[in-house]
Amino acid sequence: MAPALCCNCKTERALIKRPKNHAKLCKACFITIFEDEVHHTINSSQLFHPGEKVAIGASGGKDSTVLASVLKTLNERHGYGLELVLLSIDEGIKGYRDDSLETVKRNAVQYDMPLKVVGYDELYGWTMDQVVETIGKKGNCTYCGVFRRQALDRGAKMLGIKHVVTGHNADDVAETVLMNLLRGDLARLSRSTSIVTGDSRSEVKRSKPLKYSYEKEIVLYAHHKKLDYFSTECIYSPEAFRGSARGLIKQLERVRPTAILDIVRSGEDMARLVPGESPSSCACKGQKSAVVPSLEDDIGGCASQNGRTPGGEMAAMDKQLRENETHEAVEVDVARAISENKAGGEKEKALPIRSSHGTSRGPTRQVLGNCKRCGYMSSQEICQACMLLEGLNKNRAQIQI
Amino acid sequence: MVESKSSEPHLRLCLKCRVQEATLDSRSQPVCRDCFTKFISTKCIKQIGLLGKETRPPPPSSGGGPPTGTRHYLLGLSLGVSSTVLLHLLNENVEFQLARGRNVPFDLTVLHIDTTTVTPSSPSSPVPLSPPHSAAKKSLEAYRAHYPRFTFLNLPLSTALSTSTSTSDPHHHSGPNPASNPPWPHSSSSTTAAGTAASRSDVTRHLTRRALQTQARARGCQALLLGHSTTALAELTLAEAAKGRGFALPWVVGDGPATPGLGLGGDGDGDGDGDGDGDGDGDGDGNGNGMGQGDKERDRLLVHHPLRDALRKELVIYAGLVEPPLTGLIQADKQDEGPVVSHKDLSIEEVMARYFAEVEENYPSVVANVARTTGKLVRAGREGGGESCGLCGLPLDEDGDERWRGELGIQEGSGSPTATRLGRLCYGCERSTVG
């Protein structure tokens, strides 16, 4: 039997079965097609403009390494005219960053890009090791994620860069979509799917050029391009709840490889269906948001940990929802009348008093402002990083006493 | 305190009536059997009441007098737990109303769409029924005996997709005549030809849904009732999202009007088999919608899920509690909970079912939250405006399609034969028929 030929060039032997759609490709065609698809994403979303200075959020892991490599290649091939810089965050986790930062340093040489490393200690006065010492291993990923997001932005600001690209891949985005459906968080669902986050208000724009790239293909690309990356999970992550969304996505991918992209597509489409208001029509909104971690960022946790919710959080949310249900039992008719009015458009059904009541009290829309302490964009008076820091610092004071 | 706990555990009283012994655990409250069954039926009756208001027959146009019309619903019966429990509760509701000397609240036709039988390719009889020996037919006999009040029908999928109803409905003969409009030609072939288990399952499910709506319209029903539990709706939400139909989710999961354009009479009309053989009141629109504007109101169909507030595990318990238990009627679940042998043989729906069985056990409120959240999404591609998918009948997403081109490396203009036969397909159906 003749060996299968690459279905693209039809001359070379097919060596790779694409995880995305099971197409059989040769090595060269796979690499070209992978790059072309990222180029297509960049083009169609108009991510960059010529002369733009772009920081690549680099962890030394596969995603950011592939991102750096692809961007360098495309920048040269298609003449984007970008000035690329590697930006790394040192969370201060011993044994985790020491090695991966070495990788990033080598990458900087390999790709001939300047590198900037920003530490949590210089930004917040706390390393992650110290945070874990204080609050324990449970829930520390929230701290890490919140701190990291700001860290990248602040690092970029230090360098005078207004655009940070991150290595979030299709699996990450799909996971976030499912996670937010499970959490019932429409606001974040609509935010998380967009390729660019941060609007004119925020000083630093963020984008994910690998949004449509499969994690498996990123690994394949790194492998076949013989990229130098560091593969280890965050040493604290095994303690965290293995997010059910991620497990679910892996299963779906096995059943139907395109499922990941299909979820991304669904997420994008659903984002357009989210009514332009706070999803909760319930007045006790504050109560709810106390449970759902109101992270400012679209994707929680750290890079290897995206969207994973600690088990305790899921249980706590379940409990809170159950309590809400018992409270809502009394008001369910009003809620239904209003929501039916909206959904069915049958205005004659809702009592005028009720509907006007509903709109006047109106679900409050999240208004983006800036944190009073650090100036970072936030919908609250004080941003989440500062809130978390406040808690940490209180604890530290007590310990010292 | 401590004593009573350990030595007399049977003294645990139902938290609701505080009279009977609590033998069950309902939403982390100890309850007795009676309170539990009441809890489930209340959840259903509440929804039926809401639907009743929406389908209130109009007052007679000429002269006074009471409303003349009766509510007529179609229940989709899968022979599984949820739809059987729904049937039982509807029957209970009718009996309750009759016992109070009131009128029958609604007429109910119970329809089972048989997806296991394949109609012969050249139909010799214009109205083919299921082969006499099919398992479904046997089961339906048992149902009929159990609920003699309702009309039971069993139609193969391919037959049910065409608008021709059985001759028993002379007053509503809107479709083209059956002989010139052969039973849906693609259903049997597409269900068997579609490549993977996931695709087969997806196509079959959507065609079944479409068939139910077609039949409900053809029989002049105001509403189609589906037995989805909270858990099933959550599964449906994530499954449809995973199949790329996020855009159409509100149409699938929410209660409300069915997608327009589902009256397949229109497909027949569009195929050029002559417009004159319908009843003439607006068959000429030929835009694939099929519904003449004149009878738009008459053909307005609601889709409701009266069990949307009950978890699947609760329905399973309920089915075993009523007298006599419904478990004898219910067909055994095909998906066993055994380990997955091959993912190739799994469908997306099965993956979701397994996943949510676990979530339901540990975080029931999270399950409920999923369906509730999806209910808040806006229904896009509304009546009149947008086109519908030729297969599942859900609205097409022009903007999304436009934006998406190229992301998967889809070759432009790869017009599949399916696409030309059925008209345009939505993203999800394209996945299931081509990919």
Residue A58 in marked binding region: yes
- Local confidence band at A251 (pLDDT 50, 70, 90 cut-offs): very high
Q: Is the pLDDT of residue A293 over 50?
A: no
Contacts of B40 (CB under 8 A, 6+ apart): B85, B89, B310, B314, B315, B318
Q: Is the pLDDT of residue B109 over 80?
A: yes
As a whole number, the mean pLDDT across chain B is 75
Beta carbons of B250 and A33 less than 8 Å apart? no
Please state which of the ranges A10-19, A41-50, B160-169 shows the lowest mean pLDDT: B160-169
Domain boundaries, chain A: 27-295+308-329, 366-401
Which residues in chain B have their CB less than 8 angstroms from residue A269's CB? 246-247, 397, 400
Beta carbons of B378 and A344 less than 8 Å apart? no
pLDDT value of position B8: 52
Beta carbons of B364 and A262 less than 8 Å apart? no
CA atoms within 13 A on the CB side of B7: 4
Site from B363, B402, B405, B433 to mutate, A interface, most A CB atoms within 10 angstroms: B363
Mean pLDDT along residues B17-39: 89
Q: Is the pLDDT of residue B266 over 90?
A: no
pLDDT value of position A110: 95
pLDDT value of position B279: 38
Residue A100 in marked binding region: no
User: Quick one: how far is CA A149 from the chain centroid?
Assistant: 9
pLDDT value of position A386: 86
Please state which of the ranges A93-102, A281-290, A315-324, B280-289 shows the lowest mean pLDDT: A281-290
Beta carbons of A244 and B404 less than 8 Å apart? no
Mean pLDDT along residues B429-433: 86
Beta carbons of A268 and B27 less than 8 Å apart? no
Angstroms from B339 CA to nearest CA on chain A: 13
Residue A172 in marked binding region: yes
Would an 8 Å CB–CB cutoff place B27 in contact with chain A?
yes
Model's pTM, two decimal places? 0.79
Contacts of B80 (CB under 8 A, 6+ apart): B227, B330, B331, B333
Mean pLDDT along residues B144-161: 90
Please state which of the ranges A24-28, A310-314, B362-366, B423-427 shows the lowest mean pLDDT: A310-314
Site from B25, B28, B238, B401 to mutate, A interface, most A CB atoms within 10 angstroms: B238
Please state which of the ranges A322-336, B79-93, B373-387 shows the lowest mean pLDDT: A322-336
Q: Is the pLDDT of residue B144 over 90?
A: yes
Beta carbons of A255 and B351 less than 8 Å apart? yes
- Local confidence band at B412 (pLDDT 50, 70, 90 cut-offs): very low
Would an 8 Å CB–CB cutoff place B404 in contact with chain A?
yes
Mean pLDDT along residues B98-116: 91
State percent of chain A over pLDDT 70.
74
Which residues in chain A have their CB less than 8 angstroms from residue B355's CB? 244, 248, 251
Beta carbons of A314 and B196 less than 8 Å apart? no
* pLDDT tens-digit readout, A351-381: 444 433 433 343 445 566 778 887 777 777 8
Please state which of the ranges A43-47, A353-357, B248-252 shows the lowest mean pLDDT: A353-357
Q: Is the pLDDT of residue A72 over 90?
A: yes
- Homologous superfamily (CATH) for A27-295+308-329: HUPs (3.40.50.620)
Contacts 24+ apart (CB under 8 A), A40-48: A40/B406, A40/B407, A41/A195, A41/A209, A41/A211, A41/A212, A41/B407, A42/A74, A42/A80, A42/A209, A44/B403, A44/B406, A45/A195, A45/A196, A45/A207, A47/A165, A47/A195, A47/A196, A47/A207, A47/A209, A48/A80, A48/A82, A48/A163
State percent of chain B over pLDDT 70.
66
- Local confidence band at B3 (pLDDT 50, 70, 90 cut-offs): very low
pLDDT value of position B270: 32
Residue A63 in marked binding region: yes
Mean pLDDT along residues B14-33: 88
DSSP letter (8 states) at residue B21: B
Considering only CB atoms, B379 lies closest to which of A185, A336, A343, namely: A343
The more confident residue out of A320 and B194 is A320
* pLDDT tens-digit readout, B336-382: 556 666 777 889 999 999 999 988 888 888 898 888 888 888 887 75
Considering only CB atoms, B373 lies closest to which of A186, A212, A262, namely: A186
Would an 8 Å CB–CB cutoff place B127 in contact with chain A?
no
What number is the ipTM of this complex?
0.79
pLDDT value of position A374: 78
Angstroms from A163 CA to nearest CA on chain B: 23
The more confident residue out of B66 and B155 is B155
pLDDT value of position A299: 42
Site from B302, B369, B425, B433 to mutate, A interface, most A CB atoms within 10 angstroms: B369
